[in-house]
Structure 1
Amino acid sequence: MSVAPDKKDATAERARQLADAGQYAQAIKVWRQLLDGSPNDANVYNTIGDLALKIKNNPGAIDAYYKAARLFVQEGFHLKAIAVYKKIRKLEPDRAEVYTLLGDLNVVRGLMHNAVADYLSSAKLFLKAGKTMNALTLLRKIAKIDPQNTDVRMRMAELCLKEKLKDVAITEFLYVGKAYQRQGRAAEARTAFEKILKIAPDHAEARRRLDSPYQPELDEPEPSATEAAGMTVADVVQGEMVEGGIELSLPESTLSTPLQPAPEAEGAPATLPEARSLLARGNLAKAERMVRALLLEDADQLEYQAILGLVYLKKGQIAAAYDTLYRIAQAWHAQGRRDEASELIDAYLMAEPDDSDFLQLKVRVTQEPAAATAETPDLPVIPAGVEKPAFLEVEPAAALAETVVPPATAGIPAGGLEPDVEALFQESRKGGKAPVGGDKYETHYDLGVAYKEMGLLTEAIEEFQLAARGPTRFVDACTMIAACYKAQRLNTTAVGLLERVLADPRCTGPGGPYVKYDLAVLYEEGGLTDKAAHLFADIPSV
């Protein structure tokens, strides 16, 4: 039986009032009353999950989140579903199935590098739990979306051999051996063919390839595009299901979407020295592919991230290079790695010699004790090893950090901005070229909106920071960051941000009046009535 709209609104308002009063258990009971009439309301389940966390009922929160995510997927709100699954991942970091679901959703969205990273994480957890066949399923998913990933296919072959799936193991060893031959990796190709002959001593092709010089003109074309031809999202999401896994409920129109394979990888094995060598030789495309492969294995490794930042720098992607290299140089300085920090700073200053942030950082690195940090220049020096500054993590393809903006209790200085938000205003001063790749920034903006709607303000601010670096979303994203600050009761910080936006030359077009309006409202709430009246009068229409 459905609930009348007026009664539903009154019930929801009562639940909110109970939650505001700290009566979370009673609020949950009231929200559940709404489910009697609307059992498929994903937002209600999500709210129940948030409230369950406040009373430390993690199992109840997880159950509600799973229901919310499932319903969001059914309704086509994939970004909201991802936001909820990430909540579950925080509560159950060792739950392999959650990573699988995130990977499947990234396949649906066409973000194949993200999907590969999620599937790898899931496979590692299944292996740790002794569920080898499930891990093998995840590797097959990766092989479908990234058929040129020889490391994954070699691992597949080894797992198949362990599970006595000899025919499949031979097929994979042969694929990898031929790929190694095409790449000129003769010793590794020999190893792959020798593994085949240990399983099947009479295998003719493995013997021929092992005993005869490689003749590329006799080889078949590389199977990169042909393997994925004709495959759809369903072939990955539904065609490879882990035992006991959760199946995404997707419409046929989504499942029938043609699969978009990940960009091909090629060349020598992915190692840090090889990536550095490729960078030094100016082979930026291969260096970037290699370092992204390394980041799939260890997204937290600053050395890998630094190589990626230097690639951005040499490609002329100054904004991306700034974002990556500045915080790594800060981190290395804080860790006492002053020589390495200096190398990054010098490399950046060769391209951007007038950048004041890097010039100031260079002074600190060369003159201050290593533990001093950019975030607290006026505080006493913190001894090395006692406390280190937080810095963003770089994740492959659109990778996301978990704690960019601290909660209100972390104490953002009144009126001050986080360093990562402050960096947004360096772009116009540096006069760099506008970033390209607008779709990527739109995705960050949309994900930020989804996070904000879910109450994930920290994650929302992170996404809006990334979106603000795009060619069209600076004003909109900064306005949303200010809204998140206001939701965290950081009104003074929100005012400081909007004042900076209003003074920025990029604050043009239809978004300008909205900045003035939001700032005027904050002024009014803060008792600055004269300032508010002046701005309200200056708004032609909103």
Structure 2
Amino acid sequence: MWRFDLAIDRSSVLLSAQLFASRGQFDAAINEWKRLSAESPGDGSIFNSIGELHLKRRATNDAVAAFSQAANAFRAEGATLKAIATFKKILKLDPSRYDLFRHLGDLNAERGLLSSAVQDYLTLGKHYLKAGKSKDALDIYKKIVSQDPSNLDAQQRVAELCLQENMQDEATKVYLQLGRERSAQQRYAEAKDAYQAVLRIDPANSEAAQFIEHLTKTSENPGLAAKKGAGSAGGQPKSAEPLNLLSEATRRIEEKQFAGAEAILHQLLTKEPGNPEVCQLLAKLHLRRGDLQVALGEYRYLAGAALRAQDYVKAEMLITDVLAVEPESVAMLELYGELYEAKGDAPNAVLQYGKAIELLLEHPEPGMPTLHEELFEKVAALTPDSPTVKKLTALMNGTA
């Protein structure tokens, strides 16, 4: 017996769907789109169209369900920006779906936009805390720390949540790390708070007890005492070795002795994982050695962290370091635009975004075909009547 598989005539179904929609027969139009979805279940644009039709029939729940299918399909096919836009559309329709901030954070992390990813995770973490979901909050704050080890506020939250969940050993480890990092940054009052938290959990902890004792003896300023001790004793303070190693690594990078410098930096990172000075030097090494893709990821992370901390001078230094070597880096131009936007300097923000858009029009980013449109929306919002907007509009329409 012969069997015939009759493929759907896509253009004919699309025409029927458009005709039904134009007549206000949204249910019939949706059924036509569903015929296509049965044949192409991984096509996110189909589910997106179904969602828009549900909105026209004022069926918000059905629209959200369809947009969720669309977002997951876009994500599966690597259309990251479309997935992000669709998840945001769902949140606009149903703000209670705060679980979607996890997906947004993951997608921004995939794009290398770690500052945006951390912001999404923070939003989710705050919702979990408000809802009393401490275990879920702990998981998400741990995720923030994994993306941004220098985020001490997130580390503080992890420690507090560990205590709530009766995870004293882990809380102790995090508080000790907080104490070390804050002490290294000469934030001694905050370091003291962290070490006191350790002693409340484990009164016999020698590291915390010694720090508190030392802090008391040196009138709350161990940094000053260390400097005096180094001068009077004629020897080097305990922290001198890492400082000397950093200087040596810097010297070797300048002299292009990259292998030796890299060995020193990796040695330092084994002692202090996530140390920002060491990470910055390692990024510089990769940039000078020509490992541009590796360096770009590292610089984006470091510049994003500086931008988030409102350390605009450091952020600009990191961004311009990369642009001096790779002036056509769209990612860094976008970040430069974000920096100027954060500083309230709209003209320079538009200038950087404009450069990125022109580069994207010539060489679209793989998997991000609409990035230039997203950046153009920022430009248009910042300076709607500027010559730059007119110029970019002409370029995008092919009329320049």
TM-score (ref. length: structure 2): 0.64
Listed as ranges, the matches of 1:462-477 within 5 Å are 462-463=377-378, 465=380, 477=392
Deviation at 1:312, TM superposition (A): 5.8
Deviation at 1:440, TM superposition (A): 7.6
**CA distance in 2 between partners of 1:205 and 1:172 (Å):** 13
Residue identity in the other structure for 1:21: R
Segments of structure 1 that go 5 or more residues without pairing to the other structure are 230-256, 276-282, 290-306, 324-433, 454-458, 480-510, 517-542
Over residues 101-143 of structure 1, what are the superposed CA-to-partner deviations in whole Å (9 max), with x where a residue is unaligned?
A: 0000000000000001100001111112221111111111111
Aligned equivalent of 1:4, options 4, 7, 24: 7
**CA distance in 2 between partners of 1:450 and 1:98 (Å):** 21
Deviation at 1:477, TM superposition (A): 4.0
Aligned equivalent of 1:194, options 196, 219, 235: 196
Over residues 224-273 of structure 1, what are the superposed CA-to-partner deviations in whole Å (9 max), with x where a residue is unaligned?
A: 258989xxxxxxxxxxxxxxxxxxxxxxxxxxx9887444868xx97xxx
Contact 1:35 1:44 in 2 (8 A): yes
Deviation at 1:45, TM superposition (A): 0.6
Q: 1:224 aligns to what SS in structure 2?
A: coil
Listed as ranges, the matches of 1:343-422 within 5 Å are none
Residue in 2 that maps onto 1:154: 156
Residue identity in the other structure for 1:285: V
**CA distance in 2 between partners of 1:155 and 1:476 (Å):** 47
Deviation at 1:36, TM superposition (A): 2.4
Segments of structure 2 that go 5 or more residues without pairing to the other structure are 215-221, 228-236, 243-267, 281-295, 318-338
Over residues 311-362 of structure 1, what are the superposed CA-to-partner deviations in whole Å (9 max), with x where a residue is unaligned?
A: 465xxx8433xx7xxxxxxxxxxxxxxxxxxxxxxxxxxxxxxxxxxxxxxx
Deviation at 1:448, TM superposition (A): 9.7
Contact 2:48 2:67 in 1 (8 A): yes
1:117/1:73 CA distance change after superposition, 3 Å = same
Q: 2:58 aligns to what SS in structure 1?
A: coil
Residue in 2 that maps onto 1:35: 37
Contact 1:464 1:478 in 2 (8 A): no
Deviation at 1:435, TM superposition (A): 3.4
**CA distance in 2 between partners of 1:112 and 1:187 (Å):** 29
Aligned equivalent of 2:90, options 76, 88, 94: 88
Listed as ranges, the matches of 1:426-441 within 5 Å are 434-435=351-352, 438-439=355-356
Deviation at 1:90, TM superposition (A): 0.8
Contact 2:98 2:124 in 1 (8 A): yes
1:110/1:27 CA distance change after superposition, 3 Å = same
1:30/1:64 CA distance change after superposition, 3 Å = same
Residue in 1 that maps onto 2:249: none
Aligned equivalent of 2:313, options 267, 282, 285: 285
Contact 2:112 2:297 in 1 (8 A): no
Deviation at 1:65, TM superposition (A): 1.1
Contact 2:99 2:124 in 1 (8 A): yes
1:160/1:181 CA distance change after superposition, 3 Å = same
1:90/1:194 CA distance change after superposition, 3 Å = same
Q: 1:169 aligns to what SS in structure 2?
A: helix
1:25/1:79 CA distance change after superposition, 3 Å = same
**CA distance in 2 between partners of 1:193 and 1:181 (Å):** 10
1:449/1:74 CA distance change after superposition, 3 Å = closer
**CA distance in 2 between partners of 1:81 and 1:319 (Å):** 29
Aligned equivalent of 1:205, options 204, 207, 227: 207
**CA distance in 2 between partners of 1:38 and 1:287 (Å):** 45
1:152/1:41 CA distance change after superposition, 3 Å = same
Aligned residues: 305
**CA distance in 2 between partners of 1:50 and 1:513 (Å):** 26
Residue identity in the other structure for 2:193: T
Matched, 1:319 2:348: yes
**CA distance in 2 between partners of 1:437 and 1:451 (Å):** 12
Over residues 38-69 of structure 1, what are the superposed CA-to-partner deviations in whole Å (9 max), with x where a residue is unaligned?
A: 22221111100111111121221111111111
Aligned equivalent of 1:110, options 105, 109, 112: 112
Aligned equivalent of 1:218, options 229, 232, 238: 238
1:115/1:207 CA distance change after superposition, 3 Å = same
Deviation at 1:94, TM superposition (A): 2.6
Residue in 1 that maps onto 2:330: none
Over residues 452-474 of structure 1, what are the superposed CA-to-partner deviations in whole Å (9 max), with x where a residue is unaligned?
A: 99xxxxx79624637999xxx96
1:308/1:462 CA distance change after superposition, 3 Å = closer
1:34/1:62 CA distance change after superposition, 3 Å = same
**CA distance in 2 between partners of 1:193 and 1:177 (Å):** 6
**CA distance in 1 between partners of 2:30 and 2:118 (Å):** 37
1:475/1:311 CA distance change after superposition, 3 Å = closer
Over residues 470-523 of structure 1, what are the superposed CA-to-partner deviations in whole Å (9 max), with x where a residue is unaligned?
A: xxx9667414xxxxxxxxxxxxxxxxxxxxxxxxxxxxxxx499327xxxxxxx
Deviation at 1:179, TM superposition (A): 1.4
Residue identity in the other structure for 2:348: A
1:443/1:515 CA distance change after superposition, 3 Å = closer
Q: 2:186 aligns to what SS in structure 1?
A: coil
Residue identity in the other structure for 1:435: Q
Contact 1:69 1:81 in 2 (8 A): yes
Contact 1:45 1:67 in 2 (8 A): yes
Q: 2:352 aligns to what SS in structure 1?
A: coil
Q: 2:95 aligns to what SS in structure 1?
A: coil
Q: 1:515 aligns to what SS in structure 2?
A: coil
Greater shift in the superposed pair: 22-31 or 77-86? 22-31
Residue identity in the other structure for 1:4: A
**CA distance in 1 between partners of 2:178 and 2:97 (Å):** 31
Residue in 2 that maps onto 1:165: 167
Residue identity in the other structure for 1:12: L
1:74/1:468 CA distance change after superposition, 3 Å = farther
More helix as a share of residues:
2
Q: 2:132 aligns to what SS in structure 1?
A: coil
Contact 2:71 2:83 in 1 (8 A): yes
Residue identity in the other structure for 1:462: E
**CA distance in 2 between partners of 1:168 and 1:35 (Å):** 48
Q: What percentage of aligned pairs have identical amino acids?
A: 33
Over residues 188-225 of structure 1, what are the superposed CA-to-partner deviations in whole Å (9 max), with x where a residue is unaligned?
A: 11111000000001111111222223559435655325
**CA distance in 1 between partners of 2:140 and 2:51 (Å):** 29
Residue identity in the other structure for 1:115: A
1:82/1:478 CA distance change after superposition, 3 Å = same
1:37/1:174 CA distance change after superposition, 3 Å = same
TM-score (ref. length: structure 1): 0.49
